[in-house]
Amino acid sequence: MADRKLVRVLNGETVFPPPTWLMRQAGRYLPEYRATREQAGGFLDLCYNPDLATEVTLQPIRRFGFDAAILFSDILVIPDALDRGLTFVKGEGPQLTPIRVDEIDRLEPNRAETHLAPVIATVGRLRDALPDETTLIGFCGAPWTVATYMIAGHGTPDQAPARLFGYRHPEAMERLLAILAEMSADYLIRQLQAGADCVQIFDSWAGVLDEASFEAYAIGPVKRIVDRVRAAIPDAKIIGFAKGAGPLLKTYREKTGVNAVGLDWQVPLSFAKELQAQGAVQGNLDPLRLIAGGKALEEGVDRILETLKDGPHIFNLGHGITPEAPIEHVEALLKRIRGL
């Protein structure tokens, strides 16, 4: 496992061309994903079916030969384990029962072990099925991002309901985040024990927090996860993706102790290079350049490679690939990176 390229980068090595994978690389832009998704029934049925979840995880590896596979699941399986009424309505995204302050102390985190067993089974199967050189990435949502969906009950443009909840009920928010942090740490430990080489913590909504809230809600709970995971697995490799964190990424890495920071597409490359002096960085092509293709794609890729080639870098998008991304553009992206 130590030789897998992406793990070497997480250890601080410079590898060129950089190991490459794409957030949401298993998804609706692939016809084979749409077919398996149809077969599964609902989206959650797909997440909890080890045969089909293994299949969709492997699809982008077979087609493109990415350097890493990411477990197929969703960050919202944690609130699902807490029985928060999660459903995925086609075209509308996730819906949950908005949580009230008085419900927080009645949550039952112990349900997670049994509930998430099929996801852990998927990790084990993947390690057996993947080519030896392919890194297997496990993941969870960061407590703050998961909490934003639990509080609003759905996605919102700026997660105002969760921000207001935090200002009005700071103690309840701290308790909710602490519960999610412990559950997430246990979940990541199980993924690593089942065969994941490293894990990523997705904080997609970190960028809506002000500085003090970022410290309390984005840094604190993620540090708790990192510390707890490393107490069980001392050399666990962890990528933190705090989308929209901008200049706070330096403190984020220092205080949480993650091995690599994920960069969204708005992070200036000059700053990315500064961050690289502290350790590995991952990112950060604008997903829309992948849709556009041609010069927009080539120039975006070249600028990232040129700026980050002398330090530890994992090539990725600055956020997930979208259903509109043409398959030929993904092929062109990989050719450009690998210089073929």
Ligand X SMILES: Cc1c2[nH]c(c1CCC(=O)O)Cc1[nH]c(c(CCC(=O)O)c1C)Cc1[nH]c(c(CCC(=O)O)c1C)Cc1[nH]c(c(C)c1CCC(=O)O)C2
- Applying CB under 6 A, the residues found at the interface with ligand X are 23-28, 37, 43, 70, 72, 74-76, 93-94, 139, 145, 155, 202, 204, 320
Residue 24 annotated as catalytic = yes
Residue 62 annotated as catalytic = no
Considering the complex, what minimum distance in angstroms separates the CB of residue 37 from ligand X?
A: 5
Of 8, 24, 127, 230, the catalytic one is 24
Residue 37 annotated as catalytic = yes
149 annotated to a ligand binding site:
yes
Closest residue to ligand X using C-beta atoms: 204
Considering the complex, what minimum distance in angstroms separates the CB of residue 336 from ligand X?
A: 21
293 annotated to a ligand binding site:
no
- Which contacts of 222-226 are long-range, i.e. CB under 8 A and separated by 24 or more positions? 222/142, 222/143, 222/181, 222/252, 222/256, 222/258, 223/255, 223/256, 223/257, 224/178, 224/181, 224/182, 224/185, 225/140, 225/142, 225/143, 225/181, 225/184, 225/185, 225/188, 225/201, 226/256, 226/257, 226/258
Considering the complex, what minimum distance in angstroms separates the CB of residue 5 from ligand X?
A: 18
Of 29, 33, 48, 149, the catalytic one is 149
Q: Identify which of residues 98 and 155 has a Cβ nearer to ligand X in the complex.
A: 155
Of 74, 186, 197, 264, the catalytic one is 74
Q: Which residues pair with 310 in a beta bridge?
A: none
31-40 helix and 50-64 helix, angle to the nearest 10 degrees: 180
Q: Identify which of residues 26 and 297 has a Cβ nearer to ligand X in the complex.
A: 26
Considering the complex, what minimum distance in angstroms separates the CB of residue 73 from ligand X?
A: 6
* Contact (Cβ atoms closer than 8 angstroms) between residue 312 and residue 281: yes
Residue 74 annotated as catalytic = yes
* Contact (Cβ atoms closer than 8 angstroms) between residue 43 and residue 114: no
Active-site positions?
A: 24, 28, 37, 74, 149
Residue ranges of the annotated binding site are 24-28, 74, 149, 204, 319
Residue ranges of the annotated binding site for substrate are 24-28, 74, 149, 204, 319
